[in-house]
Structure formats: C-alpha cells, structure tokens
Amino acid sequence: MSSTASKPDVVVLDYGSGNVRSAVRALERAGADVELTADLRRAMDADGLVVPGVGAFAAVARALREVHGDRAVERRLAGGRPVLGICVGLQVMFEASTEPGAGDAEGLGEWPGTAERLPAPVVPHMGWSTVEAPAGSVLFEGIADERFYFVHSYGVQRWEMVDTTGGRMTPPLVTWAEHGAPFVAAVENGPLSATQFHPEKSGDAGAELLRNWVRSLRSA
C-alpha cells in the first residue's frame, strides 16, 4: 500500500444522483482518496473528477448544471485534467437524448451525438455484457475480455466525431457493446473518459478498470 500522501485524490460529484456510495467505495478500493462533494473548487482541484449518473437524461443534465458541474467539467478539460463519466454521466457528455422529457435538455456537448432508445426486444438492457475495446485502451488494459454491468434503455449508437485538425488530433478510443444494436460502451478521449456501464458494480473487472483510471491520474 502506498502512503496516503501519494494517492491521487478524486472527487465524486454529488448532485443528488441515486446510489453513489458504491462509486466512492470502489474508487477507494482502486487506490484513490475519494471525496463526495458538490463543491466546485474541490471538483476543479482534484486529480480526478467522477460524474456519476443514474435516472433520466434531462434530470441528470439539469441537476448537473444546478451544482455548476458543467463548468467544472469544462474547466478541467480545458486544462487537460481527467474526468470520468459513468452511465448517464457518459450520455450527458454528448449533445442530446431522444428520451421522452429530454427534448429541451442539452447535454454538455463534449462529443457530437445523441443517446437513442436501444432497438432490442427487452429494454432496459440490464446485465453483464462483453465489450469490444480498441487496441491501446488504457481503461481496458488487462480486462478487455471481461463482462461489465449495464443498466440503461438509451445508448449512443453512432460515433460522430470527425477529425477537423488534419490528423493532429489523437483519435479518441471508442469501445463498443451490443444490445439490439452496437452502442458506445466507453470513450477515452484525452482527459475525458466515460463508461456506459457501471464499473463500480462490475465486480473485479470493474475494480480493475477503475484502478487503470486512477493510475492514469498520476501521469496526467
């Protein structure tokens, strides 16, 4: 065990989402010093910021803005400081959702694209699914063949980001899963990462993914 002083500190943004206790504990287990808070200063200063999210897209987007979580995310990303979105915390990094009631709710728009209802006979997609992680993934290092726990009815089914920098941009790493159609299971894009599944509920595989993320904070 490393000393407390050398542990990366992580803020789990507390904005009235459902069960966040598990995320806090899982991140602690992954080697971080974790604080659950909505304090903007702390959210901006921490080595890593986690944006959890359960429930409806519109409710999450609204609650996130109420605590100025959008500003915390923007400023951190502008400074190259890591942010990890989980579940609806992934979806709100995109522009929008077709979920009923989400019509006037904007996502943070860090990535182009829309969460749409999964075209499967049984929805929500609830359970442990495999993923297709690209080569070079940091999050999935050593666990690319594992299953992760998903609970969602909507998913981003098209990755629409195009490189307008003439190849100077480091291409984002997009991990896919499938339920009725392929959807984005995770994105690693510079300082911004996100997973549609719940790593904090995905047993040992999820713990390893969080360890991979927490480890990356040191070098960020």
Partner 1 sequence: MRVIPCLDVDAGRVVKGVNFAGLRDAGDPVELARRYDAEGADELTFLDVTASSDARETTYEIVSRTAEQVFIPLTVGGGVRTVADVGRLLRAGADKVGVNTAAIARPELIAEIADRYGSQVLVLSVDARRVQPGAPATASGFEVTTHGGRRGTGLDAVEWAVRAAELGAGEVLLNSMDADGTKAGYDLELLGLVRNVVSVPLIASGGAGALEHFEPAVAAGADAVLAASVFHFRELTIGQVKDAVRAGGHPVR
Would you tell me which residues interact with partner 1 (CB under 8 A)?
Answer: 18-19, 21-22, 25-26, 29, 54-56, 59, 121-124, 126-128, 147, 149, 151-153, 198, 200-204, 206-207
Beta strand pairing status for 48-51 and 9-13? parallel
What's the Cα-to-Cα distance from 37 to each of 28, 31, 40, rounded to whole Å?
A: 15, 18, 8
| Residue 176: Cβ-neighbour burial (10 angstroms; 0-12, 13-18, 19+) | middle
- Residue 149 CB, nearest approach to partner 1 (Å): 6
- Catalytic residue (one of 95, 188, 200, 208): 200
Pick the closer one to partner 1 by CB: 96 or 173. 96
Cα(13)–Cα(127) distance, integer angstroms: 25
- Catalytic residue (one of 116, 179, 198, 208): 198
- Look up 95 and say whether it is catalytic: no
- Residue 218 CB, nearest approach to partner 1 (Å): 23
- Residue 128 CB, nearest approach to partner 1 (Å): 4
Residue at token pair 């979105």: 85
- Look up 200 and say whether it is catalytic: yes
Cα(33)–Cα(114) distance, integer angstroms: 33
Cα(75)–Cα(49) distance, integer angstroms: 11
Pick the closer one to partner 1 by CB: 57 or 191. 57
- Look up 178 and say whether it is catalytic: no
Pick the closer one to partner 1 by CB: 107 or 191. 107
Q: Known catalytic residues?
A: 87, 198, 200
